[in-house]
Structure 1
Amino acid sequence: MTFALVNDTIEHLAPWMEFAANGYTEADAVAYLALCDEHWDSRRNFNYAIVAPDGRVVGSTGIMTERPEGGVEIGYWLHRDYTGQGIATKASRAQIEAAWLMGATHVIIVHDSNNHRSGAVPARLGFTEVERRVGVEPPTAVKTGTKVVWRLDRK
């Protein structure tokens, strides 16, 4: 499922998602799923499928626990046909609740400054922009190379 889903929207993902930038093979999908299992077992990262209201798997979201000071990072991506419907926001809200249950003190979201759709999610969820990391990556035709960091503290 991962292979077909990613390849069906590869042009949409490639500018933003490193794993899709140079194509995505069945071997890549198998390796990703094995890594997900390894990360779950070690409690390092927790990756989930995003399922749309129509029952279709339309993306992925994850909690990355290896962050300083008791925080976690969440990330997400969606198939191009399912953007702009609030699905990433709903999935992120669920990830935030899971982070609080894990005992996280804060949640961060990081995206390229040109990825406005990705940045709309933390803005809708009450995050605060706390940092811009200039020159983290080399710029591309789409990416600026500047990472925007958003933070939400546990209340």
Structure 2
Amino acid sequence: MLTAADELTSGPVVLRRWRRADAEVLYRVVSESLEHLSPWMAWAARGYSTADAVAYLSRTEEQWGIDYDYAIVAPGPVVAGSCSMMSRIGQGGFEIGYWVHPAHLGRGYATAAAAALTAEAFRIGADRVEIVHDLANVASGAIPRRLGFDEVDRRPPQDERSAAEAGVEVVWRLLAPGAAVV
């Protein structure tokens, strides 16, 4: 498999690889988003510190080439969220995750980021991309539907649950052009 690009452009956003030097901006954007994120992401419900930002950015640099983490940069330019391609679904596939700062919701940034990550995953050789969200997170679920993913499973949570979650993960999958059904 090839390595993902450091920067991707899709519609109104640029996805820029997170760097250790981004700790201050990451801390600020996450801190301002905690109330919005904590119902859906257990890590956000525990709070977020500068040390958390530094640890996350260190991990993203160390894991680059296996997993790919990007800042979602909106016009301005301003960091409007974060997105990732994670190798945790096994050989040949990536799971995509995303979140957007509440001041930037409803502008298509998460959809544009997911579209860019999907295209990049296929460019570097993935045969499938998945998006997983809790059943209650309707906004997150609209994105894979919009991008042509197929719902392939509903299962118990694989990770720690957070307050607003229904406890059912919805799995969406998109196969690379010409890929065999998984």
TM-score where L is the length of structure 1:
0.93
Contact 2:94/2:129, CA 8 A, preserved across alignment:
yes
Distance 1:58 1:76 in 2: 11
Aligned partner of residue 57 in structure 1, secondary structure? strand
Distance 1:117 1:96 in 2: 18
TM-score where L is the length of structure 2:
0.79
Distance 2:89 2:43 in 1: 21
Query: In structure 2, what is the equivalent of residue 22 of structure 1?
Result: 46
Distance 1:23 1:68 in 2: 30
Q: Identical aligned pairs, as a percentage?
A: 47
Query: In structure 2, what is the equivalent of residue 36 of structure 1?
Result: 60
Query: In structure 1, what is the equivalent of residue 89 of structure 2?
Result: 67
Distance 1:119 1:140 in 2: 17
Distance 1:152 1:35 in 2: 27
Distance 2:125 2:159 in 1: 31
- 1:34-113 to structure 2, matched below 5 A, reads 34-40=58-64, 43-113=65-135
RMSD of Structure 2 on Structure 1 (CA): 1.5
Distance 1:72 1:130 in 2: 15
**Is there any run of 5+ residues in structure 1 with no aligned partner, and where?**
none
Query: Which one has a larger percent helix, Structure 1 or Structure 2?
Result: 1
Distance 2:162 2:102 in 1: 20
Q: Which of the pair has the greater relative contact order for Cα pairs under 8 Å at 6+ separation?
A: 2
Distance 1:140 1:30 in 2: 23
Query: In structure 2, what is the equivalent of residue 148 of structure 1?
Result: 170
Judging changes above 3 Å, is the alpha-carbon distance between structure 1 residues 93 and 140 closer, same or farther for their aligned structure 2 residues?
closer
Q: Deviations over 1:28-87 (max 9, x none)?
A: 0010000011111xx221000001123110100111123225111111000011111111
